[in-house]
Amino acid sequence: MESVQAIKQRFGIIGNDPKLNRAIEKAIQVAPTDISVLVTGESGVGKESIPKIIHQLSHRKHGKYIAVNCGAIPEGTIDSELFGHEKGAFTGATQTRSGYFEVADGGTIFLDEVGELPLTTQVRLLRVLENGEFIKVGSSKVQKTNVRIVAATNVNMFEAIKKEKFREDLYYRLSTVEINIPPLRERKEDIHLLFRKFASDFALKYKMPTVKLTDDAIDLLQKYRWNGNIRQLRNVAEQASVLEHNRTLNAQALQHYLPSGGSNLPAVISTTKSESDFSSEREILYKVLFDMKSDLNDLKKLTMELMKNGNVKDIQKDHEGLISKIYGNAGADESDISDIEDLEVLSIPEKTHEPIDIPEPPIDKYHFAEEIDEEETLSLQDKELELIKKSLERHQGKRKLAAAELGISERTLYRKIKQYDL
C-alpha cells in the first residue's frame, strides 16, 4: 500500500495536518473496495483530489474516471447527461445518446456538489446505487452499469435533508464512508507551507522573484479565517506575487489582500458600510446593467411561454414569483395584472385550438452553455467578474448573500464562479 506521503507527492497535495493525513489514509484504505464515498468539507479545501486518489488506487484505474459537476448542469438536462436519452425523448434529442453512467461502466464517477441534484435525479441515482440499474430518458428499457460512485459536497447535508432538498436514504447510501477535509483555519501549520508553495509557483509563472513573508505577516496569515480556504489562499498568493514591488511582505502590506471580514483579529479598517453599500457610482451602474439583463432574460422566458401556450391565467399562476420580480410587488395589484392581460389581448390569441407552432431554439445538450448574449463585450464580462468578486468579498465568500445582492440565483452565481475560476 502506498504511503500517505507518497500519495501527497503524486497528487500534489501540500500539508502535514493530522486530519488531512487521516483523510488521505482513509481514501487509500477504501480505494480497493467498491464502497461509496462522500467527501465533505467547506468550499476550496481540496475535496477534488480524494476521488482521484480513490480511482487511481482501485482496480478500476484502467476504466474511465468521469467528474460531473452537478451544480453546473441545468436541471432540465441533468437526467439526460447522467443517464442518456433516446432519440425523440424531447425537442432537440435528434439522436440516442449515452449518459455518463453508461460511458463510465467499469470505472468511477465523481459527483461533485451532489447536494445540488434535483430530487427526481436523486431517485434515479438511488436506483443505480442499489442495483446498478438505470433507464435512459424517454426509454422503458432497464440497463445495467457497474460504476463506483464518489460524491462531494460543501453543503450541510443534514440541513438539506431537513429542508427536504435531499433524500435521506440517498444520503446514507452515498456516505457509506465519509471523508472530511478540514478547513484551512484548522490547519494552521499548513498555511505558511501552502503560501510558500503557491508563491514559488507564481514566481515561476510570472518570472518574478518569489514573495516572502515577515514573521508578523505569517502570524496574520495564520490568524486569518480563510472562508474560501486553499482557493482563497492561492488567490492571495497570486495577487501579492503579481502586484507587490517589495518582494518581502510585512503584515501591513499583506493586510491589503485580505478582506477584513475574514480575520480573527479586531478589524484594522473601519467597516461601517452596510452590506449592500456600493462604494462607487460605477459599481451602481454595473449593478443596474446586470439587473436589467436579468430582467430581460426573465421577460424573454415569459414571452416564450406566452407564445407557446397563450394561456395567460396559467402563466400568471405558474410564474407568480417571476412576474412580481419584474413588475415589482405591485404585480399583485389589479391594474398591473390588467396591463399584462392587455398584452395578451393585443398580441396573443387564446389557446382555443392547436398551440402555435414555434420552433424551439436549438439546445446544445452536451455543453452546459450559459445564456449569454453574443454581443456582450469582453469588457462587460470583466466588469461582471469585478462585481462578483467584490460582492463575494463583501460577504466573505457566502454565495447566498452575494447572489441575493447581485440579483441572480445561487446556481447562476456558482456557474459564474466556475466560469471565471474564482
Ligand X SMILES: Nc1ncnc2c1ncn2[C@@H]1O[C@H](COP(=O)(O)OP(=O)(O)OP(=O)(O)O)[C@@H](O)[C@H]1O
CA atoms of 377 and 109, how far apart (whole Å) = 37
Report the residue from 4, 27, 41, 390 that binds ligand X according to the rule CB under 6 A. Answer: 41
- Cβ-based nearer residue to ligand X, 73 or 230: 230
| All three cell numbers of 48 | 477534488
Task: Report the SS3 class of residue 418.
Answer: helix
Which span (47-55, 95-103, 231-239, 266-274) binds Mg ion, by CB under 5 A? Answer: 47-55
Instruction: Evaluate whether 420 touches 409 at the Cβ level (below 8 Å).
Output: no
Minimal distance, residue 154 CB to ligand X, in Å: 4
| All three cell numbers of 391 | 460582492
- Cβ-based nearer residue to Mg ion, 73 or 253: 73
CA atoms of 64 and 60, how far apart (whole Å) = 8
44: contact with ligand X by CB under 6 A: yes
Task: Report the SS3 class of residue 20.
Answer: helix
Task: Report the SS3 class of residue 163.
Answer: coil
CA atoms of 160 and 70, how far apart (whole Å) = 15
* CA distance to 78, 79, 81, 90, 92, per residue, from 85 (Å): 11, 8, 8, 9, 11
13: contact with ligand X by CB under 6 A: yes
Which span (42-50, 103-111, 293-301, 365-373) binds Mg ion, by CB under 5 A? Answer: 42-50
230: contact with ligand X by CB under 6 A: yes
Residue 94 CB coordination number (10 Å): 10
Report the residue from 231, 287, 398, 411 that binds ligand X according to the rule CB under 6 A. Answer: 231
| All three cell numbers of 290 | 446586470
Minimal distance, residue 296 CB to Mg ion, in Å: 31
51: contact with ligand X by CB under 6 A: no
147: contact with ligand X by CB under 6 A: no
Which span (24-32, 98-106, 230-238, 383-391) binds ligand X, by CB under 6 A? Answer: 230-238
Minimal distance, residue 231 CB to ligand X, in Å: 4
Among 211, 244, 197, which Cα is nearest to 12's? 197
Please list the alpha-helical segments (H only) found in 118-206: 119-131, 157-162, 168-174, 188-206
Helices 215-223, 188-206: inter-axial angle, 10-degree rounding? 120
Nearest residue to ligand X, scored by beta-carbon proximity:
46
| All three cell numbers of 131 | 442495483
422: contact with ligand X by CB under 6 A: no
- Give me the 245-284 binding string for ligand X, x by CB under 6 A, dash otherwise: ----------------------------------------
Place of cell 434515479: 124
- Give me the 117-146 binding string for ligand X, x by CB under 6 A, dash otherwise: ------------------------------
CA atoms of 291 and 182, how far apart (whole Å) = 37
Q: Which does 60 bind (CB under 5 to 8 A by kind): ligand X, Mg ion, none?
A: none
Report the residue from 31, 37, 40, 46 that binds ligand X according to the rule CB under 6 A. Answer: 46
84: contact with ligand X by CB under 6 A: no
- Cβ-based nearer residue to Mg ion, 15 or 115: 115
Sign of CA dihedral 163, 168, 173, 178: positive
Which span (45-53, 94-102, 139-147, 237-245) binds ligand X, by CB under 6 A? Answer: 45-53
Sign of CA dihedral 33, 160, 388, 369: positive
# of chain residues touching Mg ion (CB under 5 A): 1
48: contact with ligand X by CB under 6 A: yes
- Give me the 68-87 binding string for Mg ion, x by CB under 5 A, dash otherwise: --------------------
> Under the rule (CB under 6 A), what is the footprint of ligand X?
12-15, 41, 43-48, 154, 230-231, 234
